[in-house]
């Protein structure tokens, strides 16, 4: 091979540049060949991963998930992934935002190994309904009747219920002051719904007491002082109204009779107070029972009985706070309604003809 001619300027000065240009050209070719392959490979992997995250496989075991109030979408997805419901969290979060899935707080029944779409369908449908049981307490029921119904419908032990309700541990100021000894009269009559199999006596009593407080709101309790009674005594009077009045129209009149007799110092003569302590109230009151020595015998003892004798409804509470303005001191049941009078002779005449 001959030596390069020193006079050949291209051969002397351009050979290294040529080699560099060649290497650059090769590099560019490699880049343009490799990058698309890498990109295509990355896209293919991403698509496979995205589809894999959407899918599901494996056994589907039941999963119970509780979603807390205020939980974020990321927290919901994290919980589902942790429980094995979903495969991925990033893709699932993306899909939750994309599909605008709204999740309400509550309990959900899902399974492991669900697809994103099937899991989100369950979430969108809302929480799984909690099995419940209802208990209806009519106006005028006593604690013993409520306890028996709680035992029948809620499977709450009757003795336990009565022990708690009469144990003096409940209060609802100013209506039920602490230390009264019994919650009689303050378990508000209503239809209640409780979680099946998860309720105890304390929850039932507390719920009914709270309902009394709710129902009492808005009533004219300021009238109690004008009537010369305490809020607790208002409930005592309302319980007697509940047991005595035949309809709503009679309630204020029965209240009027009670207040008029209290003002005159006359015994109330309300046999419902005797029935409260009668072990067999359904068979009527015998002559001996009418003479029972008890603070609940309002034939013999002046003033109010020591406690309510039943659970009054809102209408009776209202009547006890807003009695009719009358001079009535007697009433007699004639047929299905009562007749009211201030005349003893009229009372005797109606009693002879109606009873």
In a domain, 56, yes or no: no
Residues 352 and 244 in one domain: yes
188, 215 contact by CB (below 8 A):
yes
Residues 273 and 327 in one domain: yes
In a domain, 14, yes or no: no
Residues 81 and 202 in one domain: no
Question: Among 87, 109, 124, which residue terminates a domain?
Answer: 124
SS3 assignment, position 193: strand
84 phi-psi bin (left φ>0, alpha ψ -120 to 50, beta other): left
Residues 288 and 347 in one domain: yes
Domain limits for position 116: 62-124
In a domain, 20, yes or no: no
Parallel/antiparallel/unpaired status of strands 191-195 and 337-341: unpaired
In a domain, 8, yes or no: no
Residues 111 and 229 in one domain: no
Question: Among 152, 182, 217, which residue terminates a domain?
Answer: 217
Q: Prior bond to 174 cis, omega within 30?
A: yes
User: For 292, how many CA atoms within 13 A lie in the half-sphere containing its CB?
Assistant: 18
Cα 175 to Cα 13, 61, 222, 255: the distances in Å are 110, 52, 12, 18
Number of Cβ within 10 Å of residue 62's Cβ equals: 8
Residues 336 and 248 in one domain: yes
> Which spans in 83-200 are helix H?
90-99, 116-124, 143-154, 158-165
Residues 168 and 152 in one domain: yes
What are the residues facing 191 on neighbouring strands?
A: 136
DSSP 338: E
327, 260 contact by CB (below 8 A):
yes
**Structural domains of the chain, count:** 3
Number of Cβ within 10 Å of residue 351's Cβ equals: 14
In a domain, 46, yes or no: no
Instruction: Output the pLDDT for position 10.
Output: 40
In a domain, 23, yes or no: no
Question: pLDDT 10s per residue in the chain (355 long)?
Answer: 444 444 444 444 456 666 666 665 655 555 665 555 544 455 555 678 888 888 888 889 999 999 999 999 899 999 999 999 999 888 889 888 988 888 999 889 999 999 999 999 999 999 888 889 999 999 999 999 999 999 999 999 999 999 999 999 999 999 999 999 999 999 999 999 999 988 999 999 999 999 999 999 999 999 999 999 999 999 999 999 999 999 999 999 999 999 999 999 999 999 999 999 887 767 777 777 788 889 999 999 999 999 999 999 999 999 999 999 999 999 999 999 999 999 999 999 999 999 7
Residues 96 and 137 in one domain: no
The CATH number linked to 193 is: 3.30.1490.480
Instruction: Output the pLDDT for position 289.
Output: 77
Question: Among 105, 124, 143, which residue terminates a domain?
Answer: 124
Instruction: Output the pLDDT for position 292.
Output: 86
Instruction: Output the pLDDT for position 52.
Output: 87
Cα 340 to Cα 88, 138, 248, 327, 336: the distances in Å are 78, 26, 15, 10, 14
């Amino acid at each position: 091979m001959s030596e390069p001619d020193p006079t050949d300027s291209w051969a002397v000065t351009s050979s290294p540049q040529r080699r560099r240009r060649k290497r650059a050209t090769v590099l560019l070719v490699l880049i343009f060949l490799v990058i698309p392959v890498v990109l295509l490979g990355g896209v293919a992997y991403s698509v496979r991963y995205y589809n894999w995250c959407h899918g599901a496989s494996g056994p589907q075991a039941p999963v119970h998930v509780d979603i807390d109030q205020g939980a974020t979408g990321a927290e919901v997805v994290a919980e589902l992934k942790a429980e094995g419901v979903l495969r991925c969290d990033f893709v699932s979060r993306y899909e939750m935002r994309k599909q605008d899935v709204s999740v309400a707080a509550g309990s959900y029944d899902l399974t492991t190994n669900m697809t994103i779409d099937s899991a989100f369908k369950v979430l969108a449908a809302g929480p799984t309904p909690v099995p419940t049981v209802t208990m209806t307490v009519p106006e005028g029921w006593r604690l013993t009747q409520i306890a028996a119904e709680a035992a029948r419908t809620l499977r709450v032990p009757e003795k336990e219920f009565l022990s708690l309700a009469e144990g003096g541990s409940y209060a609802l100021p100013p209506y039920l002051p602490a230390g009264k000894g019994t919650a009689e009269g303050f378990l508000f009559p209503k239809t209640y719904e409780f979680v099946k199999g998860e309720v105890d006596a304390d929850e039932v009593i507390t719920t009914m007491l709270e309902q009394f407080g709710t129902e009492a709101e808005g009533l004219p309790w300021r009238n109690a002082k004008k009537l010369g009674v305490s809020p607790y005594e208002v409930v005592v009077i309302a319980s007697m109204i509940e047991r005595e009045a035949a309809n709503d129209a009679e309630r204020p009149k029965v209240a009027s009779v009670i207040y008029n007799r209290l003002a005159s110092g006359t015994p109330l003569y309300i046999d419902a107070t005797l029935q409260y302590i009668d072990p067999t109230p359904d068979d009527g009151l015998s002559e001996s029972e009418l003479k029972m020595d008890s603070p609940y015998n309002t034939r013999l003892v002046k003033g109010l009985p020591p406690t309510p004798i039943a659970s009054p409804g809102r209408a009776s509470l209202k009547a006890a706070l807003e009695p009719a303005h009358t001079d009535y001191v007697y009433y007699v049941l004639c047929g299905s309604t009562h007749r009211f009078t201030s005349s003893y002779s009229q009372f005797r005449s109606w009693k002879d003809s109606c009873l």
